[in-house]
Structure 1
Amino acid sequence: MAMKLSPAGACGNIILTTISDQPAISSEAKFLIAAQVEELLALVVEGKKRETSARRKISSLERRLADLNEKLILARSDKWGRKAEPFPDPDPDDEDPDDREDLLDDDEEEKPKGKRKRKMPKNMEIVIHDHFPDDMSCCTCGCQKKPINSWHSDRLEIVPERLICIRDVHHTVACNRSRCKQEESGKPVAAVAGRYIMADRSADLCLATEVAVQMLHEHLPAYRIEQRFRNQGVNLSRQAICSYIALLAGHFEPVAAAIMRYVMSGYVIHCDETPMWLQNGQKTMDGQKPSGKRGKKRYRQGFFWAVSRDERKWNPNSWPAVAFRFDLSRNGEVAEAMMEGSSARALTSDGYSVYMRFGSKDREGGPLILVRCWAHARREFYRANTAAPGKFAKWVLTQIKAIYKIERRTAGLPLAERLAIRQAEIVPLLSVLKAELEQKAPEAQGRLKSAIQYTLNAFEGLVQFTQDGRFEIDNNPIERCIRGITLSRKNSLSIGNEATGKVWAIFFTLIETCKLNKIDPRQYLHWLANEIERKRGVIEPEAMMPWHCPIGHGAL
């Protein structure tokens, strides 16, 4: 089989064949021409190699440029764009605009705009001011007119917080009669200090609880609370404020531990973690110096680990709860320590490798069912569409929106009905989605390719929620509980040391559990502190959990 020559090779072959057929040309000339033709062909081949290499480099640079352009767009979006991830604007060139409009419509009715009725708690104090006309005398008979009708309007007034000093005077009493002084019963008797939690402290229990609420529920940094006291002429330092909060945390810790046990007794557990910086120069609880850099100073990073139990969508009589733990590490040993003794059979997470080990068959106690989060999968396609808008990414977002639209109808239904709806309506959509992703994967580029690979790799866990009515479609229940830590981290920037992280974990366990149960954290923490004070620390932690608090319900 003859070898196929390139155009330059074929041209050179024709020249050599033509010269060899000319007897008038000498042999020396033929060799010289052949050498020049060969040199010319070598230059052509070298040029082709350089061209091929240049094209490959250009292609690589184009891919690199596209990747950097996507990263730049995403960086701008993260820095100055919207924090929410709304559905992208529909493409007018799509084939089925009617179907697209149906998918974009939400089940929830749009809230009416304009002035709305002001919402006020039922137990709010109401001060009534009666207003009568200036002249109430009758111009005919001269008697006083009687009220026959009235109307009222409400206005809100704020009472600024103020500090008062409570001076406890402890008296010593004795009998003044001479014969009583000689008896044992006649000796002087002194009053005993009655405080328990704040004993030997210059602050009242109410003040300590209030500064804890302001710092960890209202997310005020310690220096701002210090400034508020200074504005009233009191020099209460931030060190004293933090010491009061730490003192309360020691008494609240049994209740936080009870909430952790309650969470771990659930069938399905949601897990997540979020970072927190420890300040420069502070030793950890094991005596080690911090490592790592943040700006020009040295810091060490710690992590808040969160676990939650929320069964309200299929068990309306259950109490939702969330528990936090602070640790300097993000490795698997921390997660295993948290899950020790847990009776959970399923774990919902964002796919972090630490959580994936709980699905291993070699795990002591048996493997857990690993449920993945559709919100994270959707975010990958949302970012891909933000970086490089395309029809396929929008189509995937449309499919996910349709899945969520069906899932919203299952909230509050019995387990059997939830599972039946998912099997009948969501499973077919997932099958179509997976087939399209597998077909698109080989030709996808950039962020879209990463999004497709992420979803396909996690697809086994993403479809688990269609196999059991107790599973949720995403990990948003725990994501929402972490918002409080995120706000405090944003305002306070860092914490002092590992012990402070453990204090925060105790308070956020109580506060976020209150929010889940629609209980006012301020009223609950004051009630809990007063109960511990009244019982001198001898309490049953299970009876002190937020849903047993008699006040503050429905305040949020």
Structure 2
Amino acid sequence: MYKRMQFGQKRERFEGDPNQTSLPFEAAPAEVVEQQEEIKQKIEYTRSRPNHKGRAKLPQHLPVVEIEIHPEGDLSEMVCIGKEITEELECEPARFYINRYIRYKYASKKQDEIKIGELPERVIEKGIPGAGLLAMILTNKYVDHLPLYRQKQIFARENIQIASSTIEGWTKEALIKLQPLYEQLVFDTKTKGYLQADETPIKVLDSDKKGAAHQGYYWVYHAPLDGTVLFDYSPTRGSSAPMSILGTFKGYLQTDGYAVYEKYGKKKEITHLACWAHARREFEKALDNDRPRAERALLMIQELYKVERRVKEEQLSADRIKELRLEGSLPVINEMGKWIFEEIKNTLPKSQIGKAMAYAYARWDALSAYLYDGNLQIDNNLVENAIRPVALGRKNYLFAGSHDAAQRAAMIYSFFANCKKHEVNPFQWLKYALENIMSINHKNLKDLYPQTFKNNIQKSNM
């Protein structure tokens, strides 16, 4: 810029003080030599550094490319006495290629019958993307939180020019194909006997207010006994939103203190469980307000979590977990309940310690209900963990384009959350699901669940 100002055309030129020293655009020769010597020393030092003793082992399942290196010079008078092997982990960018289906036609000699090879089921009829490409796009967006416009840039670097609207259309069509599997997941979730529930906001462009985004919500349900997760979108946070799932639900329902859940928790068919993690957070907020009493409450809650830590470490059965909780947790809960009952009488309701006590006091039965069965959890953390990918996604693509798009996103979030729960590679599962969902018998639809896919892969490898 400065060169153009001084030496460019007259309309771009800026004449400074002729007596002023010119800027050093180029280093002096002596400085260049000194810099090169310094770089050479750094390179030699880096080469001579020993490998770190604790370097990670290379995965055994990866293909190996062998590169043979022989000494330079004449080797005709020498004999090979051995070899040294050095391995490194390497990669190359995603490889794009074209599947060209060539279907041959055959005709009978009498010309009264013609046969042609059958084209495999395709995810998008007459579309150009294969199942693997669609799986990569969806995995990049909803697992790795890579917006579609950035993926378009990746295509462009490989000299593959695809319009943004085309990629968006592919994404929509692929998600629509998964709709039957999602409906099966919704049906199965309603039949669970123990659900954890939570909700998280999502911005949606489809708004009645001009220039403003609508505040929608993902309602998330987690079944701890079999580790399944369901995301459901609703434009509202009102009591009607969870009706589609909780309207006919029977069993244990574990939630935070949101009033909508309290309404469902009062139904005869439901045993409402509260969350000790939320109760603990209220007392943590009160440390600056009333440290002695807040610390006492936190120490008692800590005793409850010591029991849970032992349960996890020893991997106890449900019956043994219930016994251990009745021995170690029930006395603590009884002591804490009596203490709160006495202390809340002498506490300002609007103080933070007063709010913490009131939160626990109002939900005491629900906080104690996890003692009923060893299969129940002490808190709602498992469903909160399932929500985290949505929070990461919000930072990258900020909003959904419409209410329908938000529901389609809820669908793929559900399946990818189940992949994470059951340690399934999300790309491999989605590619398999897209390849088979068009032809699978509706009675066998559950075979496309991530956890079932994992079990089938394990059986085939045995």
Do the two structures share a fold, i.e. TM-score over 0.5? Answer: yes
Q: 1:162 to 1:400 in 2, by over 3 A?
A: same
Whether the 8 Å CA contact 1:208–1:241 is kept in 2: the answer is: no
- What's 2:278 paired with? 376
Please state if 1:123 is matched with 2:61.
Answer: yes
Aligned-pair distance for 1:333? 2.4
Aligned-pair distance for 1:349? 0.5
Please state if 1:529 is matched with 2:456.
Answer: no
1:419-498 maps to which residues of 2 (within 5 A)? 419-441=322-344, 442-444=346-348, 446-498=351-403
Q: 1:350 to 1:122 in 2, by over 3 A?
A: farther
Q: Which runs of 5+ in 1 are unaligned?
A: 1-113, 283-289, 312-318
Q: 1:419 to 1:199 in 2, by over 3 A?
A: same
Please state if 1:302 is matched with 2:216.
Answer: yes
Q: What amino acid does structure 2 have at the position aligned with 1:373?
A: C
Whether the 8 Å CA contact 1:137–1:145 is kept in 2: the answer is: no
Larger radius of gyration: 1
| Correspondent of 1:416 among 302, 316, 319 | 319
Aligned-pair distance for 1:227? 1.9
Whether the 8 Å CA contact 1:520–1:552 is kept in 2: the answer is: no
Q: Distance in 2 between matches of 1:271 and 1:422?
A: 23
Q: 1:355 to 1:185 in 2, by over 3 A?
A: same
Q: Distance in 2 between matches of 1:169 and 1:552?
A: 30
Q: Distance in 1 between matches of 2:57 and 2:181?
A: 32
Please state if 1:353 is matched with 2:259.
Answer: yes
Whether the 8 Å CA contact 2:189–2:223 is kept in 1: the answer is: yes
- What's 2:185 paired with? 259
Q: 1:167 to 1:367 in 2, by over 3 A?
A: closer
Q: Distance in 2 between matches of 1:399 and 1:143?
A: 77
Whether the 8 Å CA contact 1:304–1:326 is kept in 2: the answer is: yes
Q: What amino acid does structure 2 have at the position aligned with 1:545?
A: Y
Whether the 8 Å CA contact 2:290–2:353 is kept in 1: the answer is: no
Aligned-pair distance for 1:458? 1.5
Q: Distance in 2 between matches of 1:209 and 1:201?
A: 15
Q: 1:186 to 1:291 in 2, by over 3 A?
A: closer
Whether the 8 Å CA contact 1:136–1:144 is kept in 2: the answer is: no
Q: What amino acid does structure 1 have at the position aligned with 2:282?
A: E
CA displacement 1:17-60 (0-9 Å, x = unmatched)? xxxxxxxxxxxxxxxxxxxxxxxxxxxxxxxxxxxxxxxxxxxx
SS of 2:94 mapped into structure 1: coil
Q: What amino acid does structure 2 have at the position aligned with 1:302?
A: G
SS of 1:450 mapped into structure 2: helix
CA displacement 1:400-452 (0-9 Å, x = unmatched)? 22211111212331122111111111111122222333343323563222112
1:308-319 maps to which residues of 2 (within 5 A)? 308-311=222-225, 319=226
Please state if 1:238 is matched with 2:140.
Answer: no
Q: Distance in 1 between matches of 2:360 and 2:97?
A: 59
TM-score, length-scaled by structure 1 = 0.66
Aligned-pair distance for 1:215? 0.6
| Correspondent of 1:334 among 235, 241, 259 | 241
SS of 1:470 mapped into structure 2: coil
Q: What amino acid does structure 1 have at the position aligned with 2:63?
A: E
1:33-182 maps to which residues of 2 (within 5 A)? 116-118=54-56, 121-131=59-69, 142=77, 144-147=79-82, 152-168=85-101
Q: Distance in 2 between matches of 1:517 and 1:370?
A: 27
Q: What amino acid does structure 1 have at the position aligned with 2:96?
A: L
Q: What amino acid does structure 1 have at the position aligned with 2:246?
A: M
SS of 2:88 mapped into structure 1: coil
Aligned-pair distance for 1:133? 5.1
Q: 1:536 to 1:310 in 2, by over 3 A?
A: closer
Percent sequence identity is: 21
SS of 2:195 mapped into structure 1: strand
SS of 1:223 mapped into structure 2: helix
SS of 2:311 mapped into structure 1: coil
Q: What amino acid does structure 1 have at the position aligned with 2:79?
A: Q
Whether the 8 Å CA contact 1:532–1:539 is kept in 2: the answer is: no
SS of 2:221 mapped into structure 1: strand
CA displacement 1:381-404 (0-9 Å, x = unmatched)? 22232x547232233222222211
Q: Distance in 1 between matches of 2:410 and 2:271?
A: 27
Whether the 8 Å CA contact 1:276–1:302 is kept in 2: the answer is: yes
Whether the 8 Å CA contact 1:519–1:552 is kept in 2: the answer is: no
1:362-401 maps to which residues of 2 (within 5 A)? 363=267, 366-385=268-287, 387-388=288-289, 390-401=291-302
SS of 1:271 mapped into structure 2: strand
Q: Distance in 1 between matches of 2:89 and 2:155?
A: 25
State which drifts further: 254-263 or 243-252: 254-263
Q: Which runs of 5+ in 2 are unaligned?
A: 1-51
Aligned-pair distance for 1:262? 3.1
Q: Distance in 1 between matches of 2:442 and 2:375?
A: 37
Q: Distance in 2 between matches of 1:482 and 1:430?
A: 29
| Correspondent of 2:453 among 540, 549, 553 | 549
Aligned-pair distance for 1:523? 1.0
SS of 2:219 mapped into structure 1: strand
Q: What amino acid does structure 2 have at the position aligned with 1:197?
A: V
Q: How many residues align?
A: 402
Q: 1:164 to 1:267 in 2, by over 3 A?
A: same
Please state if 1:213 is matched with 2:116.
Answer: no
Q: 1:359 to 1:174 in 2, by over 3 A?
A: closer
Q: Distance in 1 between matches of 2:58 and 2:183?
A: 34
Q: 1:400 to 1:220 in 2, by over 3 A?
A: same
RMSD (CA atoms): 2.9
| Correspondent of 1:200 among 126, 130, 137 | 126
Q: 1:136 to 1:263 in 2, by over 3 A?
A: farther
Q: Distance in 2 between matches of 1:115 and 1:396?
A: 46
Aligned-pair distance for 1:465? 1.0
CA displacement 1:198-241 (0-9 Å, x = unmatched)? 21113222211210111111111122112222222323233222
TM-score, length-scaled by structure 2 = 0.78
Q: Distance in 1 between matches of 2:84 and 2:296?
A: 57
Q: 1:277 to 1:330 in 2, by over 3 A?
A: same
Aligned-pair distance for 1:485? 1.3
Q: 1:539 to 1:252 in 2, by over 3 A?
A: farther
Whether the 8 Å CA contact 2:123–2:130 is kept in 1: the answer is: no
State which drifts further: 505-514 or 540-549: 540-549
Whether the 8 Å CA contact 1:225–1:238 is kept in 2: the answer is: no
CA displacement 1:313-366 (0-9 Å, x = unmatched)? xxxxxx311111111122222322212444x41100012222222333xx4xx3
Q: 1:238 to 1:437 in 2, by over 3 A?
A: farther
CA displacement 1:78-135 (0-9 Å, x = unmatched)? xxxxxxxxxxxxxxxxxxxxxxxxxxxxxxxxxxxx9755265542223333455557
Q: What amino acid does structure 1 have at the position aligned with 2:88?
A: R
